[in-house]
Amino acid sequence: MESIYASKPWLKHYDKHVPEKLAYPTMAYADVLRKAFEEVPSRIAVHYMGTEISYRQLDELSNQFANFLIARGCCPGDTVGSHLPNIPAAYIGSAGIQKAGCVFTGVSPLLTAEELGYQLNDSGAKVLITADVLFPVAMKAVAETGVEVVLVASVFDDLPQEIPVSPVTPIPGVETISFKDAIGAMPADPVNVKIDPASPCLMMYTGGTTGAPKGALLTNNNLVRHIVQLNAWVEMYMGEHITLSAFPMFHQAGNFVVMWNLAMGSTLIAIPNPRDLPYIIKAMETCKPTFVVNVPTIYLELMKLPEFRSLDFSCVRFFVSGASAFPVENIREFEEIVGKGKLMEVCGMTETTPIILALPRDGVKKIGSVGLPISDTEVKLVDPGSGEEAPIGEPGELVAKGPQVFIGYHNKSEETAHTLRDGWIYTGDVAVMDEEGYFSIVDRLKDMVSVSGFKVFTRVVDDILIQHPDIENAATIGLPDPKRPGSEIVASAVVLKPGLAGDAAMREKIMSFMKEKVAPYKVPKVIQFMTALPMSAVGKVLKRELRKIMSAECE
């Protein structure tokens, strides 16, 4: 009997323009990017705080940076770290690194000197581009690494008005130079580096929730083929989009949005600070994006602002949401503001370049679902214990195979073997599939709570808590049950709406609400009121941090 997943019920719900299988070129990402530079040289590549950089200018600037890397002895396969917010140097650096055949590793500006040093050592980075505001951390970090050159960019480098920039402080034993001076001294001649399409072009670090962060290796083939997959899914053509995303480029979602859109000649609206909501609103008003990509937290915060609600959204063809769950109750409200059917939820991970599943652009968008497997992507759900396939409607670990799946973790063979098995990536996400092939994420395996043998999916509890009229946000974890060794209790952190008191009466009110909505074992035994949930740089709730906070409070 054929497996339900092998029969691919999702194919019946593809948009008419989306094929099941695609043809892929065998070429490096730099060669794909070159097509945009040749075909739309006069188009604006990057809007940045009133400055416009054309594709012709970006081509020349990235040539200069690629020539700088080559002049400093960087060869294909060498790693270059990008420790920047979304400022012009990040876009120039990204393109130049690929032209030189080097490997880009995005480095979060939120890392401590110790964490930054770990990533630079682990990745073997020879060059680091950092920002002047981050330089003190970088200066501390590079001393014990193999970094040979540090380039310092400024947020003011590309603004039309001349703003004095502080001179670069030398780092002993490391060449330290301003990014602007470094590329300004180099020729803009095209580089001619032979790049193997099967070679890595990205080393993107995962969060390290179960140990030290791991560098996921993504190849030129992964990037180029994923661009082909998503071009087919949303029907993207050269030079047609103006794209706004607050995702930072050190995160694979933000990095891919940039690499994809540059390859397709889109105009990118740079958002240096993803928490600056007035800036995002002003950028939407003046630049009129056609394609918007953000984490749900950004959309939820924007929805609170009348300035956002009053924008004209007729130019936006679709909004993409990913990296965490968009609460079901808020999706309807969001679409009332921006237009019905405009929100596409997607699902994936750093290791899948990043997308595995996506709602169709035109077809049925089931609220609460993250969609269908994209072209050339096999997906199944398996029982984490037995490995048997999960029946329709039953939860299982999401396992996938496709041209976007990474080749492994840098220097971590054991972790690679655990995650990649016979070409299938074991994502750690728990999902269910309905009869039509639509998938919904119910939890992360590590976040699932076991209450006396009953499985509780924390995302389900979170979604119901957020329906409570007094609750602004909520996140649920499992804590050890002091009365039953080996079992857990459900514990929820709750952020109330402004002006409400987190007291015993409110706690009882929430408990009563939950008792009406879910089975007794799913009702939180602990409700802790917080002013804010711990968040990552891209707006995902950090449940590992929440676990530490709530464990300490319950001791």
pLDDT computed for residue 209 by the predictor: 44
pLDDT computed for residue 207 by the predictor: 66
Residue of 219, 139, 210, 150 lying closest to 179 (CA atoms): 150
Mean pLDDT score across all residues of the chain = 93
Lowest mean pLDDT among 153-157, 207-211, 469-473: 207-211
pLDDT in tens, 55-93: 999 999 999 999 999 999 999 999 999 999 999 999 999
Q: pLDDT band at 353, cuts 50/70/90?
A: very high
Q: How far apart are CA 245 and CA 79, in angstroms?
A: 25
The first and second tokens of residue 275, run together, are 């928490």
Contact by Cβ (8 Å): 98, 69: no
Report, as an integer, the average pLDDT of 268-283.
96
pLDDT computed for residue 196 by the predictor: 98
398 or 459, higher pLDDT: 398
* Alpha-carbon distances of 488 from 15, 123, 128, 446, 478, rounded to whole Å: 43, 38, 44, 13, 6
pLDDT computed for residue 536 by the predictor: 80
pLDDT computed for residue 481 by the predictor: 85
Report, as an integer, the average pLDDT of 390-398.
95
Q: How far apart are CA 386 and CA 383, in angstroms?
A: 6
pLDDT in tens, 308-331: 999 999 999 999 998 888 888 889
Strand-by-strand arrangement of the 175-178 sheet: 175-178, 149-153, 127-131, 79-83, 103-106, 200-205, 215-219, 408-409
Other CB atoms closer than 10 Å to residue 381's CB: what's the count? 22
* Alpha-carbon distances of 544 from 109, 397, 533, 536, rounded to whole Å: 20, 20, 11, 11
pLDDT in tens, 411-458: 999 999 999 999 999 999 999 999 999 999 988 888 888 887 777 888
- Helix H or strand E encompassing 202: strand 200-205
- Let me know how long the chain is: 555
3-state secondary structure of 480: strand
One-letter amino acid for residue 300 of the chain: L
Contact by Cβ (8 Å): 317, 339: no
pTM of the model: 0.89
Residues 6+ apart with CB under 8 A from 227: 32, 259, 260, 263, 264
- Structure letter (DSSP) for residue 466: T
Residue by residue, DSSP assigns 305-363 as -HHHHTS--TT--EEEE-SS---HHHHHHHHHHH-TT-EEEEEE-GGGSSEEEE--SSS
The first and second tokens of residue 27, run together, are 């070429």
pLDDT computed for residue 164 by the predictor: 64
- Structure letter (DSSP) for residue 292: E
One-letter amino acid for residue 531 of the chain: T
3-state secondary structure of 445: helix
Q: Which residue is listed with tokens 């019920």?
A: 9
Distance of alpha carbon 405 from the chain centroid = 15
The domains of the chain, with CATH numbers, are 55-195 (3.40.50.980), 448-554 (3.30.300.30)
